[in-house]
Amino acid sequence: MKAYRLSPDEIYHLKKIEKFAGHYTFERWPEIYWGTPPQEQCLDERQVINTSDTDFLGAYQYRPNEEGHIELYRDRINDCAYRIAVDLGLDFETTYADLCYIVLMHEMGHWFTHWCHKLAYHHRRKASTEQPTEVKETLAQLTVIWSFARLSNAKVNRRKNIFFHLAQRQSYPYQQVLKFEDFYTKRGTIIRRFNDLLDEKEWGVEYLLDGKKHGLIHKEFKAEKKVSLKKSK
């Protein structure tokens, strides 16, 4: 695989998310490559690949207790960028560069939330792999948004426009980020809640939004049901 070289612009934006609300730490960036997509899985007629999904355009390849690497899929990004440029009336080359940036930041989000935990990192690395897909993808999608923190200029606004255009066409796990419109600036709160999920893991993506322990209600109900069954015997 050919190494992907970070641009000064990408490094600048990565530095805006590297502290990740103080809950994550690292000594170097992960390895990043122009990768080759895996062979397509055999799909039955009920399964459809969404070519707008960010993890179709790139991937964070890892094992539960090993640091992974990031791959960007050039041809897939090229095809998707062409569709976006037509839809939004944008220049293709600019759109292609912006989409590379979006995919990179998304995959960096996966790396941060899997590998870079400052506390209880053995447990939390394992727990992060066990989270529902919509939780993992929401954190990765939010990472893209957080990379724009406190910035407003033509380039940032264009990238945001492309990001949300893409999100609206992606599959369910990726679209969950759209629920967080009122929480895009609350990075610390969301990260703390994500760490709660890593410790309990049954509360779901809604916990990131409202902080309510949805899974506990279900567990308490099951416990009460067991007690009532024992009493009836």
Asked if residue 45 is part of any domain, the answer here is yes
Q: Does residue 91 belong to any structural domain of this protein?
A: yes
In a domain, 220, yes or no: no
Short-list 127, 102, 144, CA closest to 194: 127
Distance set, CA 1 to CA 10, 23, 70, 207, 213 (Å): 20, 32, 11, 39, 43
Count of other CB atoms within 10 angstroms of residue 53: 17
Boundaries of domain holding 130: 2-177
In a domain? residue 122: yes
What pLDDT, in 10s, does the model give residues 28-74?
999 999 999 987 644 444 456 899 999 999 999 998 889 999 999 99
Tell me, what's the pLDDT at 214?
77
Q: Is the pLDDT of residue 181 over 80?
A: yes
On whether residue 28 sits in a domain, the answer given is yes
How high does pLDDT run on average in the chain?
89
Q: Is residue 124, in this structure, part of any structural domain at all?
A: yes
Q: What is the DSSP string of the chain?
A: -EEPPPPHHHHHHHHHHTTGGGTB--SSPPPEEE--PPPPPP--TT----TTSHHHHEEEEEETTEEEEEEE-HHHHHHHHHHHHHHHT--HHHHHHHHHHHHHHHHHHHHHHHH-BSSSHHHHHHHHHHS-HHHHHHHHHHHHHHTTTT--SHHHHHHHHHHHHHHTTS-HHHHGGGGGGGGTT-HHHHHHHHHHHHHH--S-HHHHHH---HHHHHHHHHHHHHHHHHHH-
Q: Which two tokens stand for residue 20?
A: 């990740």
Give a yes or no: residue 121 inside a domain.
yes
Cβ–Cβ < 8 Å for 102, 8: no
Check whether 227 has a pLDDT greater than 50: no
Q: How many domains does the chain have?
A: 1
pTM comes to: 0.89
Residue 64 is predicted with a pLDDT of 84
What phi-psi label fits residue 146: left (phi over 0), alpha (psi between -120 and 50 degrees) or beta? alpha
162 in any annotated domain: yes
